[in-house]
């Protein structure tokens, strides 16, 4: 697939996340486990705006369907999409090239610790 913008790709990721969230919510309901509204954090402000106002830039048939699907779930209070600045997006630890300082900061926030080296006898 060739995408015209990172917004297209990130919106498709939001759509995929929404599908998984709904599956998990359905599973929890079947197990009689209560849950709160799921908050999805996105560092692309254009995607957040599209999620809340799908009429802005409907691009193609499938993309338009994905946009309305996500917006419908937001209106139904199944999920909430919020913007998070890129520097606060901890998933960047796994997806972006970070400075050593930023890497250490996020690693600490995620409670990732270095394991001690274990030497094995010969």
At 79-95, the pLDDT tens digits run 999 998 877 777 767 77
Provide the greatest CA pair distance for the chain: 67
Map out the domains of the chain as residue ranges.
6-85
CA 111 from chain center: how many Å? 20
Q: In this predicted structure, what is the pLDDT of residue 1?
A: 47
Give 9's contacts (C-beta < 8 A, 6+ positions apart): 3
Residue 59 has pLDDT above 70, yes or no: no
Give 46's contacts (C-beta < 8 A, 6+ positions apart): 7
CA gap 50, 45 in Å, rounded: 9
Average pLDDT score over the chain: 81
Instruction: With both helix axes pointing from N to C terminus, report the angle between 6-30 and 45-52 in degrees, rounded to the nearest 10.
Output: 60
CB 51 within 8 A of CB 21: no
Q: Which tens digit of pLDDT belongs to each residue from 6-43?
A: 778 888 888 999 999 999 999 999 999 998 999 998 88
Band of residue 57 on the pLDDT scale cut at 50, 70, 90? low
Nearest in space to 52 (alpha carbons), one of 18, 86, 80: 80
**Report field, pTM of the whole predicted structure over 0.85:** no
């Amino acid at each position: 697939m060739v995408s015209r913008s990172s917004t297209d790709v990130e919106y498709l990721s939001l759509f995929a996340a929404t599908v998984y969230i709904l599956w998990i919510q359905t599973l929890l309901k079947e197990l009689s486990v209560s849950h709160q509204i799921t908050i999805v954090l996105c560092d692309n402000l254009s995607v957040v705006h599209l999620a809340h106002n799908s009429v802005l830039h409907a691009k193609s048939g499938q993309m338009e369907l994905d946009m309305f699907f996500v917006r419908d779930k937001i209106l139904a209070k199944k999920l909430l999409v919020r913007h998070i600045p890129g520097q606060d997006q901890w998933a960047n630890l796994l997806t972006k090239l970070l400075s050593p300082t930023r890497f250490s900061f996020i690693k600490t926030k995620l409670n990732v610790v270095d394991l001690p080296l274990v030497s094995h006898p010969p």
